[in-house]
Amino acid sequence: ACSQAFSYVAGEMIQLHGGIGITWEHEAHEFFKRAHGSAHLLGAPATHRARLAADLGFTESG
């Protein structure tokens, strides 16, 4: 959940600072790159949730 929130907030921060004319000069891009790098390195949150659900015995009804 934290990884997903970090990615979302970092993306919103880029939009906010881009809208006022600050782009690569701001630390926002460092956080944005870190959030997306962590997601690629550690795996997507959906993958972790699915694995946890399988380990706990929950199955998708479909």
How far is 13 from 30, CA to CA, in rounded Å?
11
pLDDT of residue 62: 42
Domain assignment present for residue 33? The answer is yes
pLDDT at 57 over 80: yes
How far is 23 from 37, CA to CA, in rounded Å?
19
Tally of domains in the chain:
1
Domain assignment present for residue 37? The answer is yes
Domain assignment present for residue 61? The answer is no
Residue 13: HSE in the Cβ half-sphere, 13 Å Cα cutoff: 16
Domain assignment present for residue 40? The answer is yes
pLDDT of residue 33: 84
Domain assignment present for residue 43? The answer is yes
pTM of the model: 0.60
Task: Give the contacts of 14 (CB within 8 A, at least 6 positions apart).
Answer: 28, 29, 32
CB of 11 closer than 8 Å to CB of 34: no
Domain assignment of residue 30, given as a range? 2-50
Q: For the beta carbon of residue 48, count every other beta carbon within 10 angstroms.
A: 14
